[in-house]
């Protein structure tokens, strides 16, 4: 999983380092660039800070039995059965994403469900968005939770948790660096948590896949998302140009003189 | 003066050959729309979009180009046309070697070295992006 590294400062545009590079003259130019017409940033549903705090408390209470079980001795483990909640959650990137993808395949009719392995589906997804670096890891979750939803009424709820929550969740679960937890439908003891999430957090909306769940799509074209970026371009040396001009003139005069001869 | 100039240039309204960009954007959206209903047509449109971009030398953001498979040109939508997972092929399993893989249904993989920290694409870097 993503390491707990201090967040790197955003990279700057590379600058010339060697003397030779510095000598080259460059001018600033503005170049147009085409962005993705679909906005990716606003797809995460908003969570109010107070609600996020209470959700986090709920999660800690729910998950702590598993952490305690994992930390206990082998002898204790033989006597006590594993907490039941383990069967109802997915944690970690690979497990959760795979479960969601299978679910998406079944719900969208791409993959056929095996009747023997009809499993309850993931309905609630908790992600420590601000603790997981780089952002590329979490960038696809809104779309994935949208495609994995059963219908437009019962969607997978996506909840982003505030900074610092990954530490608390991984401690409660007893697994290092766990920032992603998916809850299955009908998880025992989590009814209050689900209720809190359902009443306070909006569904994920992915406007460009609108027809997927409802079946009817009104296609709207978005104007091209053009913007300018500031880059540099080399400055052409005027001396060289003059030289070229002279050469051209010379060759012209030669041609003329030849024609005169003839 | 300089500030004013900057603002003027940022709104990107007077882009030369705007029609080329509009065509690329249109093809992208159409391809996305037809991904499920007519997959072959959608792939053809995406291929067309790529070719138009190359022929007219119209630059597009890496974030846009990433969403299309390099082999079969289908739109990569998690859960529908692609699967993703994190793998670590190193012996020591050091977290720096974490790689995020986007696997298209055609089998082509796109690998992002996630463990090496945040990578900012060129048009989004400080000093390059103008807001």
* Residue B131 counted as domain residue: no
Best mutation target, B79, B96, B103, B127, to test chain A (most A CBs within 10 A): B79
Q: Do A147 and B122 touch (CB under 8 A)?
A: no
Residue of B nearest to A227 (CA): B12
User: Over the stretch B60-102, which tens digit does the pLDDT of each residue have?
Assistant: 999 999 999 999 999 999 989 999 999 999 999 999 999 999 9
Helix (H, G, I), strand (E, B) or coil at B89: coil
Tally of structural domains, chain A? 1
Strands A122-127 and A157-160: parallel
Q: Does B90 touch chain A (CB under 8 A)?
A: no
* Residue A250 counted as domain residue: no
Q: Do A228 and B10 touch (CB under 8 A)?
A: yes
Helix (H, G, I), strand (E, B) or coil at B112: strand
* Residue A231 counted as domain residue: no
* Residue A248 counted as domain residue: no
* Residue A220 counted as domain residue: no
H-type helices in chain A, by residue range? Answer: 19-23, 49-71, 74-79, 93-107, 141-147, 165-173, 191-200, 211-214, 238-261
Q: 28-57 in B: which are within 8 Å (CB) of A?
A: 28-29, 32-33, 36
* Residue B18 counted as domain residue: yes
Complex prediction ipTM? 0.86
- Its domain, for residue A110, covers 41-209
* Residue A59 counted as domain residue: yes
Tally of structural domains, chain B? 1
User: Over the stretch A131-190, which tens digit does the pLDDT of each residue have?
Assistant: 988 889 999 999 999 999 888 888 899 999 999 899 999 989 888 888 899 999 888 888
In DSSP terms, A50 is beta-bridged to none
Q: Nearest CA of chain A to the CA of B124: how many Å? A: 9
* Residue A105 counted as domain residue: yes
CATH assignment at residue A151:
3.30.1330.30
| Chain B CB contacts of A136 below 8 Å | 100, 112, 114, 119
* Residue A107 counted as domain residue: yes
Q: Nearest CA of chain B to the CA of A243: how many Å? A: 30
* Residue A246 counted as domain residue: no
Rounded to whole angstroms, the Cα distance separating B35 from B105 reads 13
- Its domain, for residue B22, covers 2-124
């Amino acid at each position: 999983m993503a390491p707990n590294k201090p967040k790197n400062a955003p990279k700057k545009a590379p600058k010339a380092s060697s003397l030779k590079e510095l000598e080259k003259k460059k001018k600033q130019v503005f170049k147009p660039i085409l962005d993705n017409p679909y906005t990716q940033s606003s797809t995460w549903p908003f969570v109010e800070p107070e609600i996020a705090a209470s959700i986090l408390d709920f999660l800690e209470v729910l998950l702590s039995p598993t952490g305690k079980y994992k930390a206990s001795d082998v002898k204790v483990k033989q006597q006590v059965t594993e907490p039941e909640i383990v069967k109802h959650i997915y944690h970690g990137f690979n497990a959760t994403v795979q479960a969601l993808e299978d679910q998406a395949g079944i719900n969208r009719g791409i993959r056929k469900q095996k009747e023997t392995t009809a499993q309850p589906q993931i309905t609630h997804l908790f992600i420590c968005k601000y603790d997981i670096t780089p952002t590329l890891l979490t960038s696809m979750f809104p779309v994935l939770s949208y495609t994995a939803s059963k219908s437009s009424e019962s969607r997978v709820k996506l909840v982003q948790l505030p900074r610092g929550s990954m530490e608390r969740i991984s401690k409660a679960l007893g697994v290092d660096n766990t920032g992603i937890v998916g809850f299955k439908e009908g998880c025992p003891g989590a009814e209050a948590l689900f209720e809190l999430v359902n009443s306070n957090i909006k569904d994920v909306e992915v406007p460009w896949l609108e027809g997927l769940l409802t079946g009817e799509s009104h296609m709207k074209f978005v104007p091209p998302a053009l913007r300018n970026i500031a880059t540099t371009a080399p400055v052409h040396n005027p001396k060289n140009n003059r030289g070229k001009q002279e050469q051209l003139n010379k060759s012209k005069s030669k041609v003329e003189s030849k024609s005169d001869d003839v | 003066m300089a500030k004013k100039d900057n603002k003027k240039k940022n709104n990107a309204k007077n882009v030369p050959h705007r029609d080329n960009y509009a065509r690329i954007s249109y093809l992208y959206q159409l391809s996305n729309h037809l991904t499920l209903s007519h997959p072959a047509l959608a792939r053809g449109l995406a291929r067309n979009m790529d070719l138009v971009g190359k022929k007219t030398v119209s630059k597009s953001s890496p974030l846009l180009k990433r969403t299309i498979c390099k082999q079969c040109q289908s739109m990569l939508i998690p859960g529908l046309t692609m699967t993703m997972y994190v793998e670590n092929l190193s012996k020591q399993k050091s977290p720096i070697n974490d790689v995020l893989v986007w696997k298209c249904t055609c089998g082509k993989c796109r690998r992002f070295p996630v463990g090496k920290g945040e990578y900012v694409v060129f048009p989004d870097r400080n000093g390059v992006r103008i807001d």
